[in-house]
Amino acid sequence: MAVASRAAFRVRSVQPIPARVYLASGMAAVVLMAAGTTLEYPLYVIISFGIAPWLPLLFIEVLSQYRNFHWLAAFFAITVLQVGHLGEHSIQITQLFMSDGALVHSHGAFGQLDFETVHFFWDTTVWFGTLVLVWRYGRRNGWLWISLVFASAHEVEHMYLYYVNVFEFNFYEYQGGFAGIFGKGGMFPVVSRPYLHFGYNFMVVVPMVIAYLKQLNISLQTMPRKSSVSASRVSEV
């Protein structure tokens, strides 16, 4: 928590976006989501309305971090994407509770993308990205290694699911292949697949967020004085 609070305090010195812009974006997101709900738009549209006002700010933040810290911008982008991914799994878990466990009604906000191919390529990209982050920052950041361990386990799960879905579809569809390796009904059943993959993502994302905040704090501490002065002037404009 100390690392997180120091990082959150210091990030203002390199943040060119005034607080009022964040407030305006948050209010716009709430209004748009409320309008979408009132008009009974599909859930994915409502969630998209909530995300849209934040995208320009995220883009500016990535540029700002790249200008000041280079590789840290990629760390930030991967972390934000993974937090969003965990949010999607959280929505699915909520839907399961609300539908008494009916998976047919529980595909998250963006259920149109709930296919093994999408899962496989997303998680493979995240796994490679985490490997790169460990290569770049792992010597001083043990939290990244924890994230990598669970990202690797998750990747193995999706490699198996992708393989049986593409090459052994009858087994995937009718003989338990859909459950995966550790999903209930799978090779070594532990817990139902949605809860298993929520757990995987939780254990990838939480250490990654902590690792990012720790690395941000390290980068701010080692930031050259000239760059720090220049960035603070930007934030004052």
Q: Please give the pLDDT value at position 1.
A: 52
Q: What is the DSSP string of the chain?
A: -HHHHHHHHHGGGG--S-HHHHHHHHHHHHHHHHHHHHTT--HHHHHHHHHGGGHHHHHHHHHHHHHHHTHHHHHHHHHHHHHHHHHHHHHHHHHHHHTTT-GGG---TTGGG-SHHHHHHHHHHHHHHHHHHHHHHGGG-HHHHHHHHHHHHHHHHHHHHHHHHHH-HHHHHHSSGGGTTTBTTSSS--B-HHHHHHHHHHHHHHHHHHHHHHHHHHHHHTS-HHHHHHHHHHHH-
Q: Please give the pLDDT value at position 112.
A: 86
Q: Please give the pLDDT value at position 15.
A: 52
- Give the gyration radius of the chain's Cα atoms: 20
- Opening angle at CA 187, ends 185 and 188, nearest 5: 90
Query: What average pLDDT values come out for the chain (237 residues) when binned by 10 residues?
Result: 49 63 93 96 95 93 89 94 95 93 88 91 95 93 96 96 95 90 91 95 97 92 59 45
Could you tell me if 130 and 148 are in contact, meaning their C-beta atoms sit under 8 angstroms apart? yes
User: Tokens 């796994």 appear where?
Assistant: 127
